[in-house]
Every structure is written in structure tokens, then in C-alpha cells.
Amino acid sequence: MENTGASGSNNINKAKKTGTKRKIPIDLIENKNAREVCFSKRRKGLFKKALELSVMCGVRVQVLAFSPSGNPYSFISPSSSSSSSTQQADLFLLSSQQEDDLSRQATELKAKLETLKRKNENLKACLKGTADLDKADLTQLLAMKENLQRALGI
């Protein structure tokens, strides 16, 4: 005989469910690495849903998202009048690869920019201490040359 009382239903609710989706709390993920991984996975899912919406409803969809580290990612649906859904899916995959490449390039450019900023600051610091070049003698000019080379990392 089955127990249909309140305690029986609690036991059913407490049983471990497998193979089902669990609801997770929608709060900021504290761990930075976990946040980056979550963003990457959810971004791909978001772009996939945007493509599906575009194909199924025949609408143009644009999504712009910035990662926790500030890198931009975008999805723009291809025009539905000139291509089939498989071609659109291929374009989506290609655009994902291009976005990854652009993201990598953006990171490299940010690093180069920081290096150039440091060199610029070093040069400014070297030039602040220099007097009028016309009045400098050879030893002062050689010292300035060494300082500038050191500032540039040459």
C-alpha cells in the first residue's frame, strides 16, 4: 500500500534527481575563473539561441556582450533571404571562430598598448631632466642617449 501522506511526498522531493536540469541561483559568481568559464559557455548558448530565433522567425538579431575582462563579443544574424539555415549555421560557426580570433587579437593589442604607455612614461621622465640641447656638451648628450635607450628598452 502506498503512503500518500505529507511525509511520503517529502521523501519523494528529497530523492536525488539525475538527468534533470537544476536551477542555479542567479547571483554574481565570486570566483573570477569560474565567472570567465560561465560567461564563455553561456555566451555560446546565447548566440546559438539568437541564431535559432533568426532562422525560425525570419528576423535579424544582434547581440553585443562584454566579457568580465572587458572583451567585446558580438553576434549578427545573417540575412535570411539569401541563404539556407545550414549556410546560416556555417556562418555562425565561422563568426564564432572569428570572434575568438578577434578576442585574442584585442588582448594582444591591449598588452602592446600597456607596453607603449610604459615606454612613453619612461621617455617623458627622461626628457624632463634634460636641459636645452644646444647648450649640452658631448658627455651630457651621451648620457641622454643612454637614458633614452634604456627607457625604450633598446
User: Is residue 68 predicted with pLDDT exceeding 80?
Assistant: yes
pLDDT at 148: 77
Average pLDDT over residues 110-134: 77
Dihedral pair phi/psi, residue 20, rounded to 5°: -115, 155
As a whole number of angstroms, the distance between CA 97 and CA 111 comes to 21
Residue 33 CB-half CA count within 13 A:
0
Q: What is the total count of domains within the chain?
A: 1
DSSP notation for 87-131 = HHHHHHHHHHHHHHHHHHHHHHHHHHHHHHHHHHHHHHHHHHT--
- What pLDDT is attached to residue 86? 58
pLDDT at 92: 61
Look at residue 58 in the predicted model and tell me its pLDDT. Answer: 86
Domain interval for residue 146: 29-152
Whether 40 maps to a domain, the answer reads yes
pLDDT computed for residue 49 by the predictor: 92
Q: What is the pLDDT of residue 84?
A: 55
pLDDT class of 120 with cuts at 50, 70, 90: confident
The pLDDT mean for the chain works out to 76
Q: What is the pLDDT of residue 88?
A: 56
Q: List pLDDT tens digits, range 85-118.
A: 556 566 666 666 677 777 788 888 888 998 888 8
pLDDT of residue 85: 55
Residue 6 lies in a domain: no
Instruction: Write the CATH number for 103.
Output: 3.40.1810.10
Q: Is 72 a member of any domain?
A: yes
